[in-house]
Structure 1
Amino acid sequence: MKTLHFALPFVLIAVGCDMSPDYKQPELPVPSEWNTADDAERDSSHISAIGWKEFFTSPELQAVIDAALDNNRDLRIAVLNVEAARALYRIEKADQLLQIDAAANSSHQHLTEAEGAGPDGRTANHYQANLASTAFELDLFGRVHNESEAALETFFATEAARDAAQVTLIAETVNAYLQWLVDRETLDLLQRSLASREKSLELVTARQEIGLSSKLDLASAQAAVESVKVSRAIYSRFVEEDRNALALLIGKHDESLLPAEASLENTTILEDLPIALPSNVLLKRPDVREAEHQLKSANANIGAARAAFFPRITLTGSVGFASNDLGDLFTTEAAGAWSFIPQISIPIFDNGRNAANLDYSEVRKNIAVARYEKAIQNGFREVNNSLAARRLIREQLDAQRRLASAREEAYTLAHARYEAGLDSLLESLIAQDDMLAAQQAEIDALRQELSNTVTLYKVLGGGVLR
């Protein structure tokens, strides 16, 4: 008894042992400031605290995003991965608790006269019912605890991966929707240009019949019409491909989600995004959170690998009743039955298995550190690129709008000079081609500005609240 009292404090201390290394968050391998963000842009808040509906405020666009979040298969897989990780964590957590099973059995044996059962023999019956716990491990060195902790961090990582998948899906859906609007508006522009050129062809044909226009003018006018028809066919195909791309992201074909009245000009997206310091932004990005949880899981696995070098103690026990008569099994006539079987397993010679497993766990942690740092660096690059592009795209759009206006005025003057007989038709057609190209570029520049805001939403961490 004295020996037991002496050993008890050491047992209690051992129960609290945790063999995993202390977790330390790696230093950020990036500068403390963005390369291109102005002080006026910096904000202490974070984008993840804002729901996506506050970014994408157009009702038509919100309906498209809602449909994608409800039906997209990639996001559904990400959500199911979270459920699977949650179930695995519950399994690991259950291993830390005592498991009790109820069991009942009966045995029947025929006894002969030689066994003292009389000349006719007899049948001996035995019934038993008990509660048992099998191989419950005393987690003295934290092996089971660390395995459970690793499963928990893996679960958190899959949750972060789900958030990353949702942010990516929203950004891809919005960009696909914007591309559909661009191609459709370009197609409408080509339709108007074709109608204008067909009228010009009719005019040139009439003038050529009375000798006021040359065959060269007629051929040039016909070529201008066919050129726009080629572009119209191309953009008609683009529009159909855009519809198919959206259907894949949305998860279904639904024409009601693509209204005819939708346009780039009416598509509103929040422009004043909160831009905090890198340490605030990058650590809250879903992909960085995923990488850090994977790092914590790898850290816990080292603790489990270290614990494998130490003894494992398991307890098996049962308590119940036994009787030769089934009717007396749960009465005072039944005899009490119990068993208690402690077992200790001490690793002595394992051919280096435990050492190799520990080495593997430490390498996996180093890999996780590298992945975490890479996620930080990749996020820093993406944000810097988007911030730089935002300012330059605004300048590009303003200049493109001025260019389109100038090209339209030049075409008006050139066409008037042709009708007045001061210039050839070729001058008017060249001016018309230049105007069409500038108008197409203006539409695309507006898409780039909107798409840049969408990219900023994504690279700053996105808001996943619905």
Structure 2
Amino acid sequence: MKLKILSVAVAFALGGCSLIPDDQRPVAEIPATWPQGAAYAAPAPGGDASALAWQAVFQDPALKCLVEQALASNTDLRQAALNVEAYRALHRIQRAEQFPSVGLGAGGSRQRMPADLSPTGEANIQSQYQVAFGVSYELDVFGRLRSLSRAAAEQYLASDAARQSVQMSLVADVAGAYLAWRSDQEQLTLARSTFKAQAAGQALVEDRFNNGTASQIDVRQARTLVSQAQVQESLYTRQVAQDLNALERLLGGRLPADLPPGRPLAEPMFTAFPTGLSSQALLRRPDIRAAEHRLLAANADIGAARAAFFPSITLTGAAGTSSAELDGLFKGGSGMWQFMPQINLPIFNAGRLKADLDYARIRRDMNVAAYEGAIQSAFREVADGLAARGTYGQQLQSQRGRVEDNQAYYDLARQRYDEGVDSYMAVLDAQRELFAAQQQLIQNRLDQLVAEVNLFKALGGGWRSETVASHQENVASQQP
């Protein structure tokens, strides 16, 4: 009977127990399906968008080249990768606490003992030399060390998911900056061509004014439109330069000299990717996985805080050789050993342990709220993206029709002015309307392309769940 009790005690001491609360993923308060209505098109069927890489979605060769450079050189992504390595090292440090610590030490001391302190009444010199192996091991009876190791592992996984989120955001940011740069280049080209046309019109009006066939008002109106076109040209010249600066900041360097030509923005820039997915697909997004791992880490910290209320048992021992003479260290009879088990039981700490436990629970609740908030934000991002996809097509079509109508209006006004039917005021008004419509078409096209990039990002595109699962299994296999 005593042997059974001893066996159970040894198994309990070696195996330990866990005081970590059960891991329960909070229920996300989001609908199971995406919103429906006039603003939303029918979901595009297909495979899992989270497994679709950006290389397959982006069709512009210049954009692909820039994304690859950014992934290789962006400083924010490099910091995120180094942050992962830092958390990995912390996990290894915490994991090592669960194993015995073994070391070899050698030391010696010499001390002169005065006569009034010496047992013999005579002054003497005492010497001691020692070489020994030392072992120290904390029995993780209540799972404190394993809880801390679990928390460190979850923080490591959270940092890796955060790195993936940074990388995914970087891809989207590069695409957005590239599209803005290209769009402003089109705006600049339009402003320059409009300036040339209006400058030619101004010269024509001034000639007719000199000939007495145009009024002073026509001249002033023509000069006003030329000035407005000059303002727009300066504006977009500056904007193109600033767009390039922003793009090169994301790239981590200058534009590559061998950058291939990009597609015209009017052509398809992206492959159609599926959106007919359940809202549960959001749980595979890197930022949501990072929030979940931080929640699990906070849960493990509760286990460590609970275990701190219980006794801690440390086994310390040493074995080696000791002698009063240096040359006697390895002679027969100089062997020594010592075994010093120690148990510490917290009795009074002014409420520190209770405060630590309360703090761990509050942090867990904070991470629950952060996890739920991340899911709700992700759902809104996807819903906004689906609304953009469902409406921008009709908006662009209507805007193209507006440009065509304004072009016809300008051609007719110019014809009537040349025939002397209308004044030049009608021509100037038509020019102004046409320029504004052309500008708005370029802006609407940019908004539609950026919305498509944001939708791809919101769906968590580019990350494969099996890769994440294998990474988690690799970390779990390192746990003792």
Q: TM-score of the superposition, structure 1-length normalised?
A: 0.91
Distance 2:262 2:65 in 1: 14
Change (3 A) 1:201 1:327: same
Distance 2:337 2:52 in 1: 61
Distance 2:224 2:21 in 1: 75
* Aligned Cα root-mean-square deviation (Å): 2.6
Aligned to 1:302: 302
Change (3 A) 1:427 1:274: same
Aligned to 1:342: 341
Q: Contact (CA 8 Å) 2:164, 2:286: kept in 1 or not?
A: yes
Aligned length: 459
How far did 1:109 drift?
Answer: 5.1
Other structure's SS at 2:27 match: coil
Letter of the 1:29 partner, please give it. Answer: E
Alpha-carbon displacement from aligned partner over 1:134-192 (angstroms, at most 9, x marks no partner) = 3x210001000000000110111111111111111221221111111111111100111
Change (3 A) 1:247 1:185: same
Q: Contact (CA 8 Å) 1:64, 1:257: kept in 2 or not?
A: no
Aligned to 1:164: 165
What does 1:65-464 align with in structure 2 at a 5 Å threshold? 65-108=67-110, 126-134=128-136, 136-254=137-255, 256=257, 263-265=264-266, 268-279=269-280, 281-324=281-324, 326-327=326-327, 329-330=329-330, 333=332, 335-463=334-462
Other structure's SS at 1:283 match: helix
Other structure's SS at 1:41 match: coil
Distance 2:262 2:296 in 1: 50
Aligned to 2:472: none
Change (3 A) 1:98 1:183: same
Change (3 A) 1:168 1:319: same
Other structure's SS at 1:309 match: coil
Q: Contact (CA 8 Å) 1:60, 1:257: kept in 2 or not?
A: no
Distance 1:370 1:255 in 2: 44
How far did 1:464 drift?
Answer: 5.2
**Worse overlay, 294-303 or 65-74:** 65-74
Distance 1:194 1:412 in 2: 17
Distance 1:313 1:116 in 2: 38
Q: Contact (CA 8 Å) 1:323, 1:334: kept in 2 or not?
A: no
Q: Contact (CA 8 Å) 1:58, 1:266: kept in 2 or not?
A: no
How far did 1:404 drift?
Answer: 0.9
Distance 2:368 2:430 in 1: 59
Alpha-carbon displacement from aligned partner over 1:364-383 (angstroms, at most 9, x marks no partner) = 11111111111111111111
Change (3 A) 1:258 1:433: farther
**Worse overlay, 400-409 or 150-159:** 400-409
Change (3 A) 1:28 1:113: closer
For structure 1, the residue ranges without an aligned partner over 5 or more in a row are none
Q: Contact (CA 8 Å) 2:84, 2:156: kept in 1 or not?
A: yes
Change (3 A) 1:90 1:116: closer
Change (3 A) 1:9 1:429: same
Change (3 A) 1:111 1:446: closer
How far did 1:270 drift?
Answer: 2.3
How far did 1:322 drift?
Answer: 2.7
Q: Contact (CA 8 Å) 1:137, 1:312: kept in 2 or not?
A: yes
Aligned to 1:41: 44
Other structure's SS at 2:101 match: coil
Aligned to 2:478: none
Distance 2:237 2:215 in 1: 33
Q: TM-score of the superposition, structure 2-length normalised?
A: 0.89
How far did 1:327 drift?
Answer: 4.9
For structure 2, the residue ranges without an aligned partner over 5 or more in a row are 468-480
How far did 1:292 drift?
Answer: 0.6
Other structure's SS at 1:340 match: strand
Letter of the 1:30 partner, please give it. Answer: I
Distance 2:262 2:195 in 1: 22
How far did 1:259 drift?
Answer: 7.1
Letter of the 1:55 partner, please give it. Answer: V
Distance 2:107 2:432 in 1: 93
How far did 1:126 drift?
Answer: 4.0
Letter of the 2:428 partner, please give it. Answer: L
Letter of the 1:278 partner, please give it. Answer: S
Aligned identity (percent) is: 39
